[in-house]
Copies of this chain bind each other. A is one copy, B any other.
Amino acid sequence: MSSEKTAIQPTRNQDFPEWYQQAVRAADLAENSPVRGCMVIKPWGYALWENIQKTLDKMLKETGHQNAYFPLFIPLRFMQKEAEHVEGFAKECAVVTHHRLEDSKDGLVPAGKLEEPLIIRPTSETIIGETFSKWIQSYRDLPLLINQWANVVRWEMRTRLFIRTTEFLWQEGHTAHATREEAWEETVSILNIYKRLSEEFMAVPVLTGEKSAAERFPGGESTLTIEAMMQDRKALQAGTSHFLGQNFAKAASIAFQNKSGQMDHVWTTSWGVTTRLIGGMVMVHGDDNGMVIPPKLAPSHVAILPIIKNQKDEGDILSYCDEIAGQIQKINYTGRSVEVVVDKRDMNAGEKSWGWIKKGIPITLEIGPRDMKNKAVFVSRRDKTRKERYSQDKTEFVSGLVNLLDEIQNNLYQKALDFQQANTHHLDDWKSFEEFFTPKNKEKPEIHGGFAHAHWCGSAQCEEKINASLSVSIRVVPSHGEPEKGTCIVCGSPSQGRVIFGKAY
C-alpha cells in the first residue's frame, strides 16, 4: 500500500490525527462550522447517525424504555443541588444570561437580563430528577425507564469532529428503581446493549468494565464503560452507563412509598452514547482511501456506476442498471431494504468511483457494455483492495447479496478484533510499561502503545502518577476479570487483579 497513491493524504501511518480529519471530510460525514467547536453533520454522516439511532432505539424500546423530552435549559440552582456534579460540569458550560437583543450605539447588544442564569444542558440528571420527583410517589410508579434523544453542550477547548465537539447529539437514559439491586441490574443491562450496538452493528469490538473513581461520572457511584481501540492504538470511551445510587434522588427529593408503606429514596441510573460513535467507526474501520462503513449501518449499501463509453449504449446501460437496482431494493437486510444508488451524475467515472470509496459504501458495481452483454456486474468490496474486484453473473450477485453484506460486516469486525488483540499485552514491570507507552519514533508519535493489562494497587496516587508521567489512564477495571494476585506496577504493593491501561481520546 505504501507505494500506491492513496485517496487520503496523509496516510494513517504518516499522521493519524490529520488522516482522521481528512477522512471525515472526504467521506462527507461532517465539517467544522463557523461556530467555535460546533460541527455541521452532513447528510451522509447524519444518515449514519439515524441508523445508529434506529438500531439503539429499537433495543431500548424492546427492553421497556420510553422516549420523552426535557428542557434544553437547566436553572443554575438545580445544577448546584449535587455538589460533585456541578463541580464536574461548571468549567465547561454555556450560560444564557439575557433573553433579547437591543439596539445600542455599538449595534445589537444582549438585553433583558435573566434573574437566574440558565445553563445549556451538559447532561440532564438534575432537570430530569426534578421532574421524576413529581412523577414518582409509590413503588407502583417504578421502575421508571426514560430515554431522551437530544443535543447537549460542553464547552470544550480542544475539539475534533465527532470525537469531542462543543455541541453534540446523544441519547441519555434516566431510570429510577425501588432497590439498589434493580438499579444495578439496569446499569449492567444497558452496558450489554451498548456492547451489542458496538460489536454487532458498528463492528467495533469493545472491552467492558468499571471505571476507576478518578474517571467516574461526577456525582455517581459507579460508571461502567465500553472502550474501543482505534487504529492509532488509543482508546475511545464509546459509551457509559452510570449507577448513581441515591445521590441524585436525595438531591432532587425523589422519594416513594415502598411496599411496606415506608418512604424511601429511589435508586437511579443514567447512560449515554453520542455522535462520537461515528468518529470511532472512522478510526476503527477507515483506511488510506477513506471511510469504510459496516453494512448494517450503511446509509446506502450498493452504488451502481454505469460506465458509458459510447453515447449509443447509454439508454440500454442505464435501464440495465435500473433493473438490477430494482431487484436489489426488494431484498431485506437486517430489517430494512438494501439501499442502492444508481449514480447517473454527469462526471468522470474515476472521480465518481473514488467518491464512493471515500464515503465507505460497502459495495460498488461498475457496469459497462461488456458487463451488460454478459448479464454480469463488476463488483468492488470496500473491505478488499481494488485488485480483488471481480465479475459475477448478475442473478448470482443478487441472490448472494445478503451473504456478501454479512461477510463484509463480519470481516470488518474480525479485522478490528485482530488488531485490538495484537495490540493488547500483559505487562508486569514499570520498565516495560513505560517502554510500551513511549513513542519509539518522534516523527510518528502515534504508533505505539495499545491496551496494557497490568497490576494496580487501587490507589488514586499510583493512578495519578501514571497519568502524569505517560498520559496513560485506567480504561477499564474488568468486571469479569479472573482474580490474579500480583504487585502494583508503580508502587509494588499487593494487587488483586489486573486493570487495563491505555492512552485515551
Contacts and interface: CB of A to CB of B under 8 A. Distances in A.
A264 interface: no
Given A108-B80, A108-B86, A41 B66 contact: no
Given A127-B33, A131-B40, A97 B100 contact: no
A75 B110 contact: no
Interface residues of A, number: 63
B73 A38 contact: yes
A42 interface: yes
B93 A100 contact: yes
Given A97-B98, A100-B155, A70 B127 contact: no
A75 B35 contact: yes
Contacts of A102: 90
A159 to B, nearest CB: 12
A146 B44 CA distance: 12
Interface in A88-140: 90-102, 107-110, 112, 117-120, 127, 130-131, 140
Copies in the complex: 2
Interface string A30-71: 000111001111110011011000000000000000111111
Contacts of A93: 99-101
Given A35-B127, A71-B33, A90-B108, A76 B101 contact: yes
A346 B94 CA distance: 45
Contacts of A79: 101, 108
A38 B90 contact: no
B80 A107 contact: yes
A117 to B, nearest CB: 5
A169 interface: yes
A95 B92 contact: no
Output the residue of A66, A73, A153 with the most chain B CB within 10 A.
Answer: A73
A112 B345 CA distance: 49
A93 B39 CA distance: 22
Output the residue of A42, A69, A79, A151 with the most chain B CB within 10 A.
Answer: A69
Given A90-B100, A100-B155, A131-B40, A33 B70 contact: yes
A197 interface: no
Given A98-B97, A108-B80, A110-B117, A46 B67 contact: yes
A74 interface: yes
Given A34-B78, A72-B167, A67 B95 contact: no
A97 B112 CA distance: 13
B110 A100 contact: no
Contact of A95 (B42, B43, B110): B110
26 contacts: A33-B71, A34-B78, A35-B73, A35-B75, A38-B71, A38-B73, A39-B71, A40-B69, A40-B70, A43-B67, A71-B167, A72-B153, A80-B107, A80-B108, A86-B108, A91-B101, A92-B100, A93-B101, A94-B96, A95-B97, A95-B98, A95-B99, A95-B110, A96-B120, A97-B98, A101-B119
Given A72-B120, A109-B117, 13 more contacts: A38-B72, A38-B73, A40-B71, A43-B67, A46-B66, A46-B68, A46-B69, A73-B94, A73-B167, A96-B97, A98-B117, A100-B155, A120-B120
